[in-house]
């Protein structure tokens, strides 16, 4: 969505951000993955989070809906503190749609059944209403003709679009995307990004962990660069991607945007220890 649209939307919601993260820390044993994150996402804003593997991007996203429990700090969604021990987390999660790297579709169910099952179990919609909502959202992602197909007959890009439709069928106020195109063949990436672009234009609040710089440059209202569990810098895409202020950001982008010119790094004890670790 355009920056002007995001500004207008934010201005109309003076009550506060849709997502707010305050002083967030997360450790796995001795490994401190997040080290004091402060971040706000306004209603209707698209925020793309970029950074190297192991920088804490995915962990930050998973802390927003408490798939990972923070070690310290607070997370608010729509003004409700997700990290409050007494919060009804299931009620909060019904307001948040999440799309993962893997599609997580039930292989023994048709596409429509994959969309209607969570509606009926979580939202208690009847069969007819769930089917109607499923059909509407399959149309939104351009897959109406696949309603009776099984996941095994779909391409990776189609399966990810079904996963997006499934999340949308729950009526979320916020959508979280965790590297939604990383498991796809390059020729399938565009269809998924096109769906996300439409959602952004419709005003959906979105927080997207991605390595797709063209998408971040075109669609994001704000880009956040993370490294070492902290936010190094954030701002408009033209600033962070086009003219980054910090050397760490410049180094990351140079390796990502022009990998053929990257030099083989010298192995240190620290980098050796990190080999094989997944992005936390």
pLDDT in tens, 5-48: 333 433 334 467 999 999 999 999 999 999 999 999 999 999 99
- The neighbouring-strand residues paired with 227 are 230
Pair 197, 206: CB distance under 8 Å: no
Dist. CA 215–CA 179, nearest whole Å? 12
Residue range 232-256, pLDDT digits in tens: 999 999 999 999 999 999 999 988 8
Question: Which residues does 2 contact at the CB level (< 8 Å), separation at least 6?
Answer: none
Q: Cβ-count burial of 172 within 10 angstroms (0-12 exposed, 13-18 middle, 19+ buried)?
A: middle
Residues 6+ apart with CB under 8 A from 20: 39, 40, 41, 74, 75, 76
The predicted pLDDT at position 269 comes to 45
DSSP conformation class of 178:
E
- At residue 113, the pLDDT reads 97
Listing from the earlier edge strand, what are the strands of the sheet with 96-99? 96-99, 174-178, 205-209, 46-50, 222-227, 230-235
Strand partners, 267: none
pLDDT of res. 271: 39
Phi, psi of 112 (to 5 degrees): -60, -40
Write the pLDDT tens digit of every residue in 162-218: 999 999 999 999 999 999 998 888 888 999 999 999 999 999 999 999 999 999 999
Over residues 134-159, the mean pLDDT reads: 96
Q: Phi then psi for 34, rounded to 5 degrees?
A: -120, 135
Q: Which CATH class is domain 19-259?
A: alpha beta
């Amino acid at each position: 969505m355009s920056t002007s649209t995001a500004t207008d939307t934010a201005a109309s919601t003076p009550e506060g951000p849709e997502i707010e993260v305050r002083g967030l820390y997360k450790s796995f044993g001795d490994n401190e993955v997040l080290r004091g994150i402060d971040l706000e996402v306004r209603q209707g804003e698209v925020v793309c989070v970029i950074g190297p593997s192991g920088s804490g991007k995915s962990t930050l996203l998973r802390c927003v809906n408490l798939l990972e429990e923070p070690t310290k700090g607070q997370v608010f969604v729509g003004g409700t503190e997700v990290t409050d021990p007494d919060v009804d987390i299931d009620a909060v999660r019904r307001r948040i749609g999440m799309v993962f790297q893997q599609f997580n579709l039930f292989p023994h169910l048709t596409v429509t059944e994959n969309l209607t099952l969570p509606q009926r179990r979580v939202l208690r919609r009847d069969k007819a209403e769930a089917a109607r909502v499923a059909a509407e959202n399959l149309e939104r992602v351009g897959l109406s003709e696949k309603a009776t197909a099984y996941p095994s007959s779909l391409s990776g890009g189609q399966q990810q679009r079904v996963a997006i439709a499934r999340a949308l069928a729950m009526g979320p106020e916020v959508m979280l995307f965790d590297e939604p195109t990383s498991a796809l063949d390059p020729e399938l990436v565009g269809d998924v990004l096109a769906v996300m672009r439409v959602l952004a234009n419709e005003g959906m609040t979105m927080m997207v962990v991605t390595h797709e710089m063209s998408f971040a440059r075109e669609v994001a209202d704000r880009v956040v660069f993370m490294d070492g569990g902290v936010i190094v810098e954030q701002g408009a895409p033209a600033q962070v991607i086009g003219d980054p202020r910090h050397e760490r950001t410049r180094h990351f982008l140079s390796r990502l945007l022009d990998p053929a010119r990257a030099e083989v790094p010298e192995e240190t004890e620290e980098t050796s220890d990190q080999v094989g670790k997944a992005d936390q």
